[in-house]
């Protein structure tokens, strides 16, 4: 889906909320089994699945889930979101998701209407449909329709996309460079991501086909979030398109989904 991130009007958002409060949902076993049977989770070991479950349970306890636009969140919805969200931090730890407290769910795409500044500094009034939104230090907003479409191995997962923004924001505004681990070279990260980003932008500007969603060319922050989706949901496409970025993400997330899938195929 396109145009996945922008700031909503907080007052308009709060007017339609049906809140649950922190810890309102336990993990629903039937939903957990159905979601973790999706291709996104193929190749995980039993030990990894146990840690995934523990992280999901902690997220359910730590975040308040609220419905907006007529949606009412239930235990199935909360469990599905928690399952997808747990995967990026499987080897990072839950601390990466601390510092904010709410997930807001709309039934489908929601409308953002407000002001945005272009590269020339000109402010424009815009109105866009969104499938997800992440605010620095504030709530996350998701379209349930897009959550349901996630996890099918096609490079799209709105939950992973928005949680990638939250990881990016751990050291300030989302800019495509989250806090890097000790031993990771910031110059190498910047070089590999900038080279790939420039390449994608050239393809998009020329109207050329590319394996990566052109929405990733919107900004370095969107590039990081979209490529994180591909890293987990379609790792072979990312590795073929931008192998240096794949290696950087493997170092950052401390996972290798492509190797995991190939190993799973051999069993």
- List, for residues 33-91, the tens digit of each pLDDT value: 999 999 999 999 999 999 999 999 999 999 999 998 888 999 999 999 999 999 999 99
Per the prediction, the chain carries an average pLDDT of 86
Q: Which residues contact 135 (CB under 8 A, 6 or more apart)?
A: 7, 100
pLDDT over 90 percentage in the chain: 70
- List, for residues 136-192, the tens digit of each pLDDT value: 788 899 999 999 989 877 889 999 999 999 999 999 999 999 999 999 999 999 999
b/e per residue, 6-39, with b = 16+ CB within 10 A? bebeeeebeeebeebeeebbebbeebbeebbebe
- List, for residues 130-145, the tens digit of each pLDDT value: 655 777 788 899 999 9
Q: Which CATH architecture has domain 10-266?
A: 3-Layer(aba) Sandwich (3.40)
The span from the CA of 74 to the CA of 28, in Å, is 10
């Amino acid at each position: 889906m396109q145009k996945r991130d922008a700031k909503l009007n907080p007052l308009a958002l709060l007017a339609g909320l049906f809140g649950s409060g922190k810890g309102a949902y336990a993990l629903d076993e039937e939903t957990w089994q159905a979601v973790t049977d999706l291709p996104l989770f193929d190749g995980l070991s039993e030990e990894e699945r146990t840690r995934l479950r523990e992280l999901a349970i902690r997220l359910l306890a730590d975040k308040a889930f609220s419905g907006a636009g007529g949606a009412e969140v239930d235990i199935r919805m909360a469990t599905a979101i928690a399952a997808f969200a747990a995967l990026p931090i499987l080897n990072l730890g839950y601390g990466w998701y601390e510092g904010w407290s709410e997930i807001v769910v709309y039934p489908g795409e929601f409308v953002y209407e407000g002001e945005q500044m272009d590269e020339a500094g000109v402010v424009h009034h815009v109105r866009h449909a969104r499938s997800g939104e992440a605010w620095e230090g504030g709530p996350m907003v998701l379209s349930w329709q897009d959550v349901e479409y996630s996890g099918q191995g096609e490079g799209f997962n709105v939950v992973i996309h928005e949680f990638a923004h939250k990881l990016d924001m751990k050291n300030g505004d989302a800019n495509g460079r989250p806090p890097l681990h000790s031993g990771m070279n910031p110059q190498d990260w910047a070089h590999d991501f900038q080279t790939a980003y420039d390449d994608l932008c050239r393809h998009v500007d020329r109207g050329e086909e590319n394996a990566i969603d052109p929405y990733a060319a919107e900004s370095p922050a969107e590039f990081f979030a979209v490529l994180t989706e591909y890293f987990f949901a379609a790792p072979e496409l990312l590795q073929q398109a931008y192998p240096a970025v794949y290696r950087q993400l493997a170092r950052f997330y401390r996972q290798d989904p492509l190797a995991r899938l190939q190993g799973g195929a051999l069993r």
